[in-house]
Structure 1
């Protein structure tokens, strides 16, 4: 066989009902598709078996992580072009999974199956997390999920995140092409959070999901507050404590390995939660909001920085992409921003400001991808080729999702307003802009 690429192109286009915008290079050396377009490299027949037995996002991801598929050329352009193999995009481009419901498309699927050949579908790559039976979002399952994502090595995170070691959306005044840098944008985000919380010397700040300690250090050093940071990651805590000691801030910053549900030493003057609430889950979210409300003094502020998805027709459906759930953030769930605001208000908060910074996350992710790609050989030594491929795919695909408004990210400022009704905010609250 020396025409596998042409056969693949024809079968994929028959399945999807639309021309492929990528070129295909198959295991037999053949190529087909638009000249000059990004090339989907199908290294072996096993890639087809993964796609067919798990149609859609998870099958494509498994083939990518295992190295059965690769991209030659612009990764972002290729992912955008391959969206029809993954996501349902309406009647004109329904996605591979929906296409298989059509009798005509099933004939093409049978053609792919013949081309794929035996044996049965291969086992998932070892980077895929194994599901545990039982309830989600117990203390044990949350520790396991956090460890899967964060305990992959601090040196790897240093490579991806850069010196700031902040793993949430930066706040850009200008893209890098116009003079902005990732480190500047992350510093500006930390300062933005502190200004929204109106921190002043001597106050107590609780940083829920404190990561590697960047916000805790910034708040203590620049605003002279006392900070308690909590995380479930042993590696994060050890790294953060070392940084705190190097900054000479051990008298003002305490880093704990502790579940937010177990924090009992309130009240705090302010609480920050940056990129942590996505791990909480839809069902426990009201309790999460209630716990933070309980830990604040009257008049205290919460800054909740959280990724959001677009509303869906069936709000009871599981709300995380299959690839993200299996390889990146196990048990994570995304809600629309309106749901988040409602839950915070049900817990007793007065929501005073919601700022969408969706485009900022796309810029941040593209910088993280560039960091990873520039040190690819080192990254694969630090973790594994499969794990590095997980991160490259997840961050690049997420950048596109933010750019195309499939997901967003919002900073929600809420107050534990006292009975007097005095929120403590100025009449024009957007004084941080």
Structure 2
């Protein structure tokens, strides 16, 4: 089988109905495809068995995570080239592929392409499908977005080692979109983001701040140190909480900041002057979002502000048939959901908030993700040692693909500032937009 690459390229183009924009390098050493393009390296025939038994994105991703498929060349360029032929464009979507439904999955079931499928079976060789890589989420217990199931989902993503996240995210350990200026470092951009949120919330000394989904404590630490607030941060990750508590103790701020392992539905001690929710609402779920908004509103005093920093997807014409991304759901954020920003704003208003500002910063997230990928590549051996080769490969693929999705306007990220406006109507907002001082 000295021509496996040529045969695979011909098969792929027949099944996809389009020229393959990357080279193929096969396990037998053969290579085919457009000169100078990145190469999709199929290191083992079992990668094809994965795809035959699970046609679509998940079959390809399992091959990547297991190390059966690699990319030789620029990963961003390879993903960008493949996106145009592999992923179908959702009806009514923004320009570009936004759904994880692979055209290949449909092609493999097309009766007119049986000869091509038989050829692919012959190339794949005999045998049952390999088991999924151990990094994949398996059986899920409990009702979707119940406290118990949410805690398990958060643990899958965040309890993989604080040292791993520190290597990827940098010393700030902020796992959300930074706010960039020309020439800024990642640390400077993350500090600018935290300060922007503090200013939008109009924080002042002795205010009570609640940070929902506080991560490794960066927001509460910054707000207490720079603005003199008294802060409570809640997370479902025990590893995050331990790390955050140590940072706060090292900064001498234990009298100002408390970290709890607590569900947002169980917070008993409102009202707060301000609430920040930074990269947390993606875990709430569409069925729970109205409840989430209502709970946060009850935890705010009249006139208090909420800053909701959240990734958004583009709306679909057929919202009822929208499905979450198979790769993200199985390997990255189990049970996570993205919603259009318009839906988020509507649900916040239905819960009684007055939405005062929406700032779209998707380009900033692309810059942030590219820096995280660079950090991961620079610390690759350490990341593999701290987790596993498969886990490191998951993070590299999802961050690189996400950077492209932000750059191509397939997804966005928005800061929504909302107020629990009192009955008097005096929201305490500045007359001039984006002054952020009361």
* Counterpart position of 2:21: 21
Give the Cα–Cα distance (whole angstroms) in 2 for the partners of residues 59 and 275 of structure 1.
28
Shift of 1:101: 5.2
Moved more, 40-49 or 92-101: 92-101
Shift of 1:107: 3.5
Q: CA contact under 8 A between 2:373 and 2:399: conserved in structure 1?
A: yes
Structure 2 residue 257 is the aligned partner of structure 1 residue 253: yes
Structure 2 residue 194 is the aligned partner of structure 1 residue 186: no
* Counterpart position of 2:426: 422
Note the 1:274-285 alignment, pairs <5 A: 274-285=278-289
Structure 2 residue 379 is the aligned partner of structure 1 residue 365: no
Shift of 1:345: 0.6
Moved more, 281-290 or 310-319: 310-319
Structure 2 residue 140 is the aligned partner of structure 1 residue 132: yes
* Counterpart position of 1:43: 43
Give the Cα–Cα distance (whole angstroms) in 1 for the partners of residues 154 and 412 of structure 2.
22
| Post-superposition CA distance 1:272-317 (Å, at most 9, x none) | 0000000001101111000000000000000000011111232223
**3-state SS of paired residue (1:316):** helix
**3-state SS of paired residue (2:417):** strand
The 1:166–1:398 alpha-carbon spacing in structure 2 relative to 1, beyond 3 Å, is same
Moved more, 160-169 or 85-94: 85-94
Note the 1:41-80 alignment, pairs <5 A: 41-80=41-80
1:315 to 298, 305, 319: 319
1:144 to 146, 152, 155: 152
Moved more, 78-87 or 41-50: 78-87
**3-state SS of paired residue (2:59):** helix
| Post-superposition CA distance 1:91-124 (Å, at most 9, x none) | 9997212334544344423321221122122110
* Counterpart position of 1:206: 210
Shift of 1:418: 0.5
Give the Cα–Cα distance (whole angstroms) in 2 for the partners of residues 401 and 51 of structure 1.
24
The 1:229–1:11 alpha-carbon spacing in structure 2 relative to 1, beyond 3 Å, is same
Structure 2 residue 130 is the aligned partner of structure 1 residue 122: yes
| Post-superposition CA distance 1:144-167 (Å, at most 9, x none) | 000000000000000000011000
* Counterpart position of 2:104: 96
Q: CA contact under 8 A between 1:350 and 1:417: conserved in structure 2?
A: yes
Give the Cα–Cα distance (whole angstroms) in 2 for the partners of residues 274 and 165 of structure 1.
13
Shift of 1:56: 1.9
**3-state SS of paired residue (1:354):** strand
1:197 to 196, 201, 207: 201
Shift of 1:318: 4.9
> What is the aligned-residue RMSD (CA, Å)?
1.7
Q: CA contact under 8 A between 2:362 and 2:412: conserved in structure 1?
A: yes
Gaps of 5+ in 2: none
Structure 2 residue 304 is the aligned partner of structure 1 residue 300: yes
The 1:100–1:90 alpha-carbon spacing in structure 2 relative to 1, beyond 3 Å, is farther
Note the 1:144-163 alignment, pairs <5 A: 144-163=152-171
Give the Cα–Cα distance (whole angstroms) in 2 for the partners of residues 161 and 106 of structure 1.
47
Gaps of 5+ in 1: none
